Amino acid sequence: MIIKRSPKSSLRTTAGGVAISSFIVELMLKGVLKITKSMNKRGFTLIEIMVVLAIIGILMTVAIIAHKKEILKVRLEEARIYMSAIMAAEKQYKMGYGSYFAGTGGAATTCDETQLISTLGLKALNESPNFYYTVSCNGSCTPNTANTWDIRITATLLKDNSDATVSGCTLSNTKSTADRWVKDDLKGRNVYLCYPAPTSGLTNETCGVTDGATQRLWEGGLSVSDVFK
């Protein structure tokens, strides 16, 4: 299966948050300019220097936080692309066999990417270095109208390829090496793609996830909030 990367992210940007951050930065810059103009006219005091340094420090903190969020958005889009590919392959598999695939022997879950590659033809998973993927079924992997969900794809953030092995999962020998951009406080975080899709927005629908969270922000079946928490 060939995966084409979308030139534009379909993930909604947090326009309100960006606008507020830009407004705060603009106010701080104006304050710095006023102080520096005053310094040019009459010299400067120790307090004025300390104020300028404090404002610069705050500006740097705001910029770093905003940059980190943008990186996470890009990585989340990486997960979305490959999770969508897995889901499409699973639906095609179900059309032929009457059930989803979650491992050999009728297993209800697998995080063995070699099985996903060999059975579903998902060689493109080797090109997703920052996540490893798990497929989980509700019950016997056969769709049931009584189920609130039938299948869940989980993308787990990798700092190093060995992280998957520690978790008992198997990566392909030809999988790209993780970029190692993920900090220790982020590695192991999960993003979920659920089918049928939960109601979009902040809801108490869990898609079978038992991590203690009582609510999730869903968008098109994707738990867009999980990686940012």
Average pLDDT over residues 31-56: 69
Domain count, the chain: 2
- Structure tokens belonging to residue 46: 């120790």
Residue 112's SS3 state is strand
Q: Answer yes or no: do 48 and 92 share one domain.
A: no
Q: Whole-number mean pLDDT of the chain?
A: 79
Q: Answer yes or no: do 53 and 107 share one domain.
A: no
Please, which residues have CB within 8 angstroms of residue 114's CB and are 6 or more apart in sequence? 170, 171, 172
Average pLDDT over residues 133-146: 89
Whether 19 has a pLDDT exceeding 90, the answer reads: no
Q: Answer yes or no: do 93 and 166 share one domain.
A: yes
Q: Answer yes or no: do 213 and 118 share one domain.
A: yes
Say what the pLDDT of residue 139 is: 85
CA distance readout (Å), 56 to 24, 42, 62, 66, 83: 12, 22, 10, 15, 41
Domain that holds residue 186: 86-228
* pLDDT, tens only, 161-198: 888 887 889 998 899 888 776 667 677 888 999 999 99
Q: Answer yes or no: do 111 and 20 share one domain.
A: no
Q: Answer yes or no: do 166 and 196 share one domain.
A: yes
Residue 188 burial (C-beta neighbours within 10 Å; 0-12, 13-18, 19+): middle
Find the range with the poorest average confidence among 16-20, 40-44, 149-153, 182-186: 16-20
Q: Answer yes or no: do 143 and 214 share one domain.
A: yes
